[in-house]
Amino acid sequence: MRVGLFVTCLVDSMRPRIGFATIKLLEAAGCEVIVPEHQTCCGQPGYNSGDRESAKKLALKFISEFESFEYVVIPSGSCAGMIRVHYPELFGDDPALFARFTALGKRTYELTDFLANIAKLEKAPGNFNGTITYHDSCSGLRELDVYKQPRALLATMPQVALNEMVESTTCCGFGGTFSVKYGEISTRMADNKCQHITDTHADAIVGGDLGCLLNIEGRMRRNGDNTTRVLHVAEVLSGMDKER
Amino acid sequence: MNAREKILGKIRDAQLRSNANNGASVENTLSIAQHLAQHPRGPQPPVIGDLLKNFKERCLKLSSDVLETTNRGDVPNLVARYLNEKNLPTQGVCWPLLSALPWREAGLDIQSRPSNSQDAVGVTGAFCAIAETGTLMTLSGKETPPSTSLLPETHVAILEPSRIVASMEDAWELVRKEFKQPPRVVNFISGPSRTADIEMTVTMGAHGPYRVLVIIAPLT
Amino acid sequence: MQNNSINFKKQATIKLADVRLQNALSRLQSRFVGGRAAVISEINDFQETRTAAAAVRDMALNDLEHWLLQFEQQATARGAVIHWAENGDDVNRIVAEIAALHGVRTAAKSKSMVSEECGLNDALEKAGVKVMETDLGEYILQLAHEAPSHIVAPVVHKNKEEIADLFADHHHTPRKTGIAELCREAREVLRPVFLNADMGISGGNFMIAETGSVLIVTNEGNGRLVTTLPRVHVAITGIEKVVPTLEDVTTLLRLLPRSATGQSITNYISLLTGTKSSEDHDGPEHFHIILLDNGRSSILGSDMQKMLRCIRCGACMNHCPVYQNIGGHAYGWVYPGPMGSILTPLLGGLEASPDLPNASTLCGACGAVCPVRIPLPDLLRNLREKQMERGMKTRQETFLLKSWAWLALHPKIYSFSTKIGVRLMKMMGGNKKLIHSLPGAPGWTNGRDFPAPSGQTFRELYQQGKHS
pLDDT digits 0-9 by tens, C416-439: 999 999 999 999 999 999 999 998
Cβ within 8 Å of residue C150, ≥6 positions away = C28, C156, C157, C314, C317, C327, C328, C336
Is B88 buried (19+), middle (13-18) or exposed (0-12) by CB count in 10 A? middle
Set of chain A residues whose Cβ sits within 8 Å of the Cβ of C454? 15-17, 244
Residue contact C458–A173, C-beta within 8 A: no
Q: Which domain holds residue A6?
A: 2-118
What single-letter DSSP state applies at residue A82? I
Per domain, the residue ranges of chain C are 5-9+20-297, 313-389, 395-467
C31: left (phi over 0), alpha (psi -120 to 50) or beta: alpha
Residue contact C62–B24, C-beta within 8 A: yes
Quick one: A11 and A86 in the same domain?
A: yes
Could you give the 3-state DSSP secondary structure of residue A79? helix
Name the nearest CA neighbour of C350 among C2, C1, C3: C3
Could you give the 3-state DSSP secondary structure of residue B216? strand
CATH of B51-216, one of 3.40.50.1370, 3.40.50.970, 3.40.50.10420, 3.40.50.2300: 3.40.50.10420
How far apart are the CA of B92 and the nearest CA of chain C, in angstroms?
Answer: 17
Higher pLDDT, C439 or C393: C393
Q: What total of structural domains would you count in chain A?
A: 2
Write down the ipTM of this complex.
0.97
Quick one: A94 and A139 in the same domain?
A: no
Q: Are strands A160-162 and B154-159 parallel, antiparallel or unpaired?
A: unpaired
Q: Give whole-number Cα distances, C1 to C25, C118, C341, in Å.
A: 23, 6, 16
Confidence of residue C288 (pLDDT cuts 50, 70, 90): very high
Per domain, the residue ranges of chain B are 3-38, 51-216
How far apart are the CA of C79 and the nearest CA of chain A, in angstroms?
Answer: 48
Residue contact C450–A214, C-beta within 8 A: yes
pLDDT at B19: 63
Cβ within 8 Å of residue B96, ≥6 positions away = B112, B113, B143
Minimal-distance CA residue of chain C relative to B189: C268
Give the mean pLDDT of chain C: 96
- Residue of C65, C268, C305 lying closest to B187 (CB–CB): C268
How far apart are the CA of C359 and the nearest CA of chain B, in angstroms?
Answer: 26
User: Are A231 and A17 within 8 A, CB to CB?
Assistant: no
Residue contact C68–B140, C-beta within 8 A: no
Percentage, residues of chain C above pLDDT 90: 96
pLDDT at C468: 66
User: Are A82 and A90 within 8 A, CB to CB?
Assistant: no
- Residue of A16, A51, A186 lying closest to C458 (CB–CB): A16
Compute the half-sphere exposure of residue A177: CA atoms within 13 Å on the CB side of its CA.
Answer: 21
Quick one: A229 and A153 in the same domain?
A: yes
Residue contact C381–A20, C-beta within 8 A: no
Distance from C-alpha of A235 to C-alpha of B23, rounded to nearest angstrom: 50
Q: Are strands B128-130 and B164-165 parallel, antiparallel or unpaired?
A: parallel
How far apart are the CA of A226 and the nearest CA of chain C, in angstroms?
Answer: 10
Minimal-distance CA residue of chain B relative to C268: B189
Distance from C-alpha of A152 to C-alpha of C372, rounded to nearest angstrom: 33
User: Are B172 and C247 within 8 A, CB to CB?
Assistant: yes
C133: left (phi over 0), alpha (psi -120 to 50) or beta: beta
Q: What is the pLDDT of residues A33-70, one digit of tens each?
A: 999 999 999 999 999 999 999 999 999 999 999 999 99
Quick one: A134 and A96 in the same domain?
A: no
Distance from C-alpha of C301 to C-alpha of B43, rounded to nearest angstrom: 28
Cβ within 8 Å of residue B217, ≥6 positions away = B68, B69, B70, B71, B72, B74, B75, B158, B159, B160, B161
User: Are A238 and A24 within 8 A, CB to CB?
Assistant: yes
In DSSP notation, B56-67 reads HHHHHHTT-EEE
Cβ-Cβ contacts under 8 Å between A and C: the total is 196
| Local mean pLDDT, 10-residue blocks, chain A (244 residues) | 97 97 97 97 97 98 98 98 98 97 98 98 96 98 98 97 97 96 97 98 98 98 97 98 75
3-state SS string for chain C:
CCCCHHHHHHHHHHHHCCHHHHHHHHHHHHHHHHHHHHHHCCCCCHHHHHHHHHHHHHHHHHCHHHHHHHHHHHHHHCCEEEEEECCHHHHHHHHHHHHHHCCCCEEEECCCHHHHHHCHHHHHHHCCCEEEECCHHHHHHHHHCCCCCCCCCCCCCCCHHHHHHHHHHHHCCCCCCCHHHHHHHHHHHHHHHHHHCCEEEECCCEEECCCCEEEEEECCCHHHHHHHCCCEEEEEEEHHHEECCHHHHHHHHHHHHHHHHCCCCCCEEEEECCCCCCCCCCCCCEEEEEEECCCHHHHCCCCCHHHHHCCCCCHHHHCCCCHHHHCCHHHCCCCCHHHHHHHHHHHHCHHHCCCHHHCCCCCCHHHHHCCCCCCHHHHHHHHHHHHHHCCCCCHHHHHHHHHHHHHHCCHHHHHHHHHHHHHHHHHHHCCCCEECCCCCCHHHHCCCCEECCCCCCHHHHHHHHHHC
Confidence of residue C398 (pLDDT cuts 50, 70, 90): very high
Set of chain C residues whose Cβ sits within 8 Å of the Cβ of A173? 321, 361
User: Are A122 and A128 within 8 A, CB to CB?
Assistant: no
Q: Using only the alpha carbons of chain B, give its radius of gyration.
A: 22
pLDDT at C5: 97
Name the nearest CA neighbour of A204 among A186, A227, A187: A227
C42 touches chain B (CB under 8 A): yes
Single-letter residue type at A9? C
Distance from C-alpha of A179 to C-alpha of A185, rounded to nearest angstrom: 8
Distance from C-alpha of A78 to C-alpha of C361, rounded to nearest angstrom: 12
Single-letter residue type at C122? D
User: Are C381 and C362 within 8 A, CB to CB?
Assistant: yes
C456 touches chain A (CB under 8 A): yes
Quick one: A9 and A112 in the same domain?
A: yes
Minimal-distance CA residue of chain C relative to A136: C363
Minimal-distance CA residue of chain C relative to B17: C301
Name the nearest CA neighbour of A114 among A69, A157, A144, A83: A144
Quick one: A38 and A105 in the same domain?
A: yes
| Superfamily of the domain at C5-9+20-297 | NagB/RpiA/CoA transferase-like (3.40.50.10420)
Q: What is the pLDDT of residues A216-241, one digit of tens each?
A: 999 999 999 999 999 999 999 999 99
Task: Provide the residue-wise pLDDT of chain B in tens; the chain has 220 residues.
Answer: 799 999 999 999 998 876 655 545 445 666 888 999 999 999 999 989 999 999 999 999 999 999 999 999 999 999 999 999 999 999 999 999 999 999 999 999 999 999 999 999 999 999 999 999 999 999 999 999 999 999 999 999 999 999 999 999 999 999 999 998 999 999 999 999 999 999 999 999 999 999 999 999 998 6
How far apart are the CA of C362 and the nearest CA of chain A, in angstroms?
Answer: 7
User: Are A224 and A200 within 8 A, CB to CB?
Assistant: no
Residues within 8 A of A (CB atoms), C 376-395 only: 381, 383-389, 393
Handedness of CA C304, C306, C310, C314 (dihedral sign): negative
In a domain, A99, yes or no: yes
pLDDT at B25: 47
pLDDT at C205: 98
C281 touches chain B (CB under 8 A): yes
Could you give the 3-state DSSP secondary structure of residue A213? helix
- Average pLDDT of the segment spanning C250-262: 97
In this structure, what CATH number is given to the domain that contains residue A154? 3.40.50.11810
End-of-domain residue from the set A70, A89, A118: A118
Q: Is the pLDDT of residue C456 over 60?
A: yes
Distance from C-alpha of C295 to C-alpha of C315, rounded to nearest angstrom: 23
In a domain, A244, yes or no: no
Single-letter residue type at C216? I
> Which candidate in B1, B184, B189 is best for mutational testing of the C interface (most C CBs within 10 A)?
B184
User: Are B38 and B184 within 8 A, CB to CB?
Assistant: no
End-of-domain residue from the set A118, A142, A175: A118
The Cα angle at residue A180 between residues C364 and A86, in degrees rounded to 5: 35
Q: What is the dihedral of CA A54, A55, A56, A59, to 10 degrees?
A: 130
